[in-house]
Amino acid sequence: MARLSRLLILSAAYGEGHQQAARAVEAAVTTLCPEADVQILDYLHDVHPRLDAMAKYFYLQSVKYAPTLYKWFYQSTSQLTPQSLIQRQLNSLGIETLAATLHNFRPNIVLATFPTPAGVVSMLKQQGRTNIPLTTLITDHAIHSQWIHPQTDLYFAPSDYVREGLMERGTSPDRVEVTGIPVREAFCRPWNKAELRRELELSEEKPILLLMGGAYGVLGDLGQVALQLAKYSNQLQLIVVAGKNERLYQQLCGMPELAEAGVKIFGFVRDVYRLMAASDLMLTKAGGLTVSESMALGLPLIIYRPIPGQEIQNCHYLTKAGTACLARNQQEIVDISLRLLIDNPEEIRKMRQRALAIRHVNAAEVIAQRLIALANGRIVYPTPKFATMSANSTGVVR
């Protein structure tokens, strides 16, 4: 029987999606294989903290204030060829630190939920320094070259769309498995909507619209959107989540119109699945994890101001599936909300059914099972240049 003693998950804290997916897989692996030692490495932070801080600052500032710049960066990095100088430099980022980690931890298998470390492990394999199985979990419904590396043994794809894109770029079909994006178990439960509404002190009769700005509250005009929608408080109810954006949270709390309309305001919420399960429609960004969580709960979406790049592609996937609507401005948000929640609730029901039809509630368990199945074998661990090894150490585990 296949067993997994050590799993190394390489992730990064850019948004919440990559690490939440990593934690979901960790939970599934330890449930199936309690003796497994699973380590999650925040790769860029651990190998180069200063570069990581700069990159995060660029990411957050560009998506908030300069989305065109982010679009250029996203498209430029997607055009890099595997042998280009820039790609080779990216693939060597922290390579000796990772080699030391592999040598010391000696995992049976590596799972990357962020593209950069997948390239680094692939380079170690190309150099003949290891043959450790490398698996990659793609966390958006998007095709980007930074996810694709020649020494990847298996890709976990979020959808058939991504699987087809990988194959178009030369990936063998037997190296791609459609699993969906793993979410926490709480998003897969059958929640009692009426009970949740009573806990939130909200009406069981009027529809609920949930406004979410993402973990970092990057939808800075959420307050103005809430003010526009609060005018219809006799027909619908509002919940607003500001995430980690303290300034936005204070702004929302300081609006008397929202208080008068009975709007529920939250900052960062760990059990956000309760708010989502209580709602009928959600306004949000289009991050890969967020849309997967909403599909798991059968919650239709209004997607507002998706980031050029992966979020645009996530938005395209969901609107084509009939589970989401795209709003380009505040007036469209109001119009779509009223149309779906007040004028045509039957459409909301259909969108919910479409969402449930494309969800992957067992993604984490399926991925865990595949990792355990792949864990057997004779693995060579790379010897880092600065590692100290005993005279009889071969770097090979049998």
Q: What DSSP letter does each residue of 6-17 carry, written as one string? A: EEEEEE--SSSH
| pLDDT (average), residues 32-44 | 93
Mark whether 121 and 240 lie in a shared domain. no
Return the DSSP state at 214: T
Counted domains in the chain: 2
| 232-249 confidence digits (pLDDT tens) | 999 999 999 998 888 889
Residue predicted with more confidence, 16 or 68: 68
Does residue 142 lie in a domain region?
yes
Of the candidates 279, 140, 260, 258, the one whose C-alpha atom is nearest the C-alpha of residue 212 is 279
Q: What DSSP letter does each residue of 121-179 carry, written as one string? A: HHHHHHTTS----EEEE--SS---GGG--TT--EEEESSHHHHHHHHHTT--GGGEEE-
Rg (CA), the chain: 22
The SS3 of residue 342 is helix
Question: How many whole angstroms separate alpha carbon 301 and alpha carbon 322?
Answer: 10
| 279-335 confidence digits (pLDDT tens) | 999 999 899 999 999 999 999 999 998 988 899 999 999 999 999 999 999 999 999
Mark whether 217 and 195 lie in a shared domain. yes
User: What token pair was written down for 336?
Assistant: 């779509």
Mark whether 317 and 204 lie in a shared domain. yes
Lowest mean pLDDT among 22-31, 176-185, 376-385: 376-385
Lowest mean pLDDT among 31-40, 65-74, 195-204, 225-234: 65-74
Query: What is the predicted pLDDT for the residue at 251?
Result: 92
Query: The pTM is what?
Result: 0.88
| 117-146 confidence digits (pLDDT tens) | 999 999 999 999 999 999 999 999 998 888
Does residue 160 lie in a domain region?
yes
Write the burial class of residue 104 (CB in 10 Å: 0-12 exposed, 13-18 middle, 19+ buried): exposed
Query: What is the predicted pLDDT for the residue at 52?
Result: 78
CATH number of residue 123's parent domain: 3.40.50.2000
Summary mean pLDDT of the chain: 89
| 70-118 confidence digits (pLDDT tens) | 888 888 888 777 778 887 887 788 899 999 999 999 999 999 999 999 9
Question: How many whole angstroms separate alpha carbon 59 and alpha carbon 47?
Answer: 18
Query: What is the predicted pLDDT for the residue at 168?
Result: 94
Mark whether 153 and 94 lie in a shared domain. yes
Does residue 1 lie in a domain region?
no
* Kind plus residue range of the DSSP H or E element containing 81: none
Please say whether the beta carbons of 275 and 241 come within 8 A: yes
Mark whether 298 and 367 lie in a shared domain. no
Which residue segment(s) compose the domain that 291 sits in? Answer: 189-358
User: What token pair was written down for 6?
Assistant: 């050590």
Question: How many whole angstroms separate alpha carbon 48 and alpha carbon 249?
Answer: 32
Put residue 181 in one of left, alpha, beta given phi > 0 → left and psi -120 to 50 → alpha. beta
27 vs 108, 153, 187, 212, 338, CA distance in Å? 17, 22, 14, 26, 40
Instruction: Band the pLDDT of 219: cuts 50, 70, 90.
Output: low
Q: What is the pairing mode between strands 6-11 and 109-112?
A: parallel
